[in-house]
Amino acid sequence: MSQKQPSFHGFPKEQRAFSPGGRTTRAARQRRPRGTREAMHLVLRSDLARGPKSLLNYDSAVRALIAKLAQRHGIRIYRIVNAGNHLHITLRLSKQFTWKGFISGLTGGIARAVQHKRAESSKRSFWNSRPFTRLIAWGRDYNVVKDYHTLNQLEADGAVPPRSQMLRPERWRCVVQAFS
């Protein structure tokens, strides 16, 4: 006679092999897409970059750092948009192996430029999560991303209200009338 399989209900969720937390952490280990033939859209976001630590206050230092690292690693930069708490960068890698040095130098250099000091008791880093990357096909897809960058730049400059406020017509009606 065969024995009955033991139930997983006696274990805490963290110790279950197929718990939802296990799947999300496993999925997070997958590599982000990188390519050398297409352009790449890179987004770096930080909720700590607000007020005096806003990336807009350090715009020239951030752009200089990106240019220096891109030249060192042979990466072509097409566009940089600084939106205050996040950066949009359109770039193209020359070689796959240059990515790791570029992104680690960039994220650490920007955090150092805004004088972010991590407290020893805190494990919270300057960046919210891993860098978001997306491959961009040349042509229509590239133009869509370029328009998205333009919209983000206009929102950062204050020319257009943020999309979170576009749900309230009283906030954006005057902007639409000015452009019509």
pLDDT of residue 117: 61
81 with 42: CB under 8 angstroms? Answer: no
* The two structure tokens encoding residue 26: 């496993």
pLDDT tens, position by position, 108-129: 888 888 876 665 556 677 888 8
One-letter amino acid for residue 160 of the chain: V
- Cα 21 to Cα 6, 15, 18, 28, 98: the distances in Å are 21, 10, 8, 11, 32
Confidence of residue 70 (pLDDT cuts 50, 70, 90): very high
What span, in angstroms and rounded, lies between the C-alpha atoms of 155 and 161?
6
Q: Which of 134, 133, 107, 121 is nearest to 48 (CA)?
A: 107
Mean pLDDT over each residue of the chain, to the nearest integer: 76
Q: Which of 128, 132, 82, 127 is nearest to 109 (CA)?
A: 127
Domain residue spans in the chain?
A: 32-179
Confidence of residue 55 (pLDDT cuts 50, 70, 90): confident
pLDDT of residue 21: 43
The class that CATH gives domain 32-179 is: alpha beta
pTM for this structure? Answer: 0.68
